[in-house]
Amino acid sequence: MSDAIERSGHIAELAFIETAVQAAGYQSAQTGSDDLSVEPELIVALDPDEDSRARSLRISFIPVGDEVESTKFVQLWVTLPFEVAADRVDAVRLATAIVNEHVALGRFGVDQDGSVYFRYVLAARAHTMIDDDLIAEVVSFVDFHQEHFGDFVEGVCDGNIEIEVLEHVIRAAG
């Protein structure tokens, strides 16, 4: 399959995903459709956090070309609205490892630049559309996980939660 055909398929399927996400009550917009230098993605507006900071979910296909024929991979990515100070990076990386043991899907991570993210990759059949109810539910799960569990990661970023008590705090919060 050519890259242009794969890209066109991704743009079309993102439009279907957008319809499902909007039906679930989220606002969204597709970007990158006209710019061949970037992968097209769907940006979904999530509710602001308790500090009124904007949050958004980026949905895109991971281009695999002819390497994988029967599976497509849909990445859901949220950059959390806070960054890690250089002196807290190791503690926050450890915190994400602890928190990741408690999430049902996806994982937290810390980029080299100190930004914290939540990422989930959905594997789906390559030659069928992703089910509307499935994608809406996955978006809802990602929304919940990054908001709820992200608070614990931010607590470690801020120094309000020490690593030694994180496991107990997260278990008690359920």
DSSP string, 93-126: HHHHHHHHTT-SS-EEEE-TTSEEEEEEEEEEET
What gap in Å lies between CA 136 and CA 125, rounded to an integer? Answer: 17
The pTM (predicted TM-score) of the whole model is 0.90
Structure tokens at 137: 């539910």
In this predicted model, what pLDDT tens digit does every residue of 42-69 receive, in sequence order?
Answer: 999 998 888 899 999 999 999 876 777 8
Task: Return the minimum-mean-pLDDT range out of 77-81, 131-135, 142-146, 167-171.
Answer: 167-171
Structure tokens at 138: 């996955």
Q: What mean pLDDT, rounded, does the chain reach?
A: 89
H-run or E-run covering 72: strand 71-83
What gap in Å lies between CA 39 and CA 57, rounded to an integer? Answer: 15
What gap in Å lies between CA 136 and CA 20, rounded to an integer? Answer: 6
H-run or E-run covering 91: helix 89-100
What gap in Å lies between CA 14 and CA 20, rounded to an integer? Answer: 10
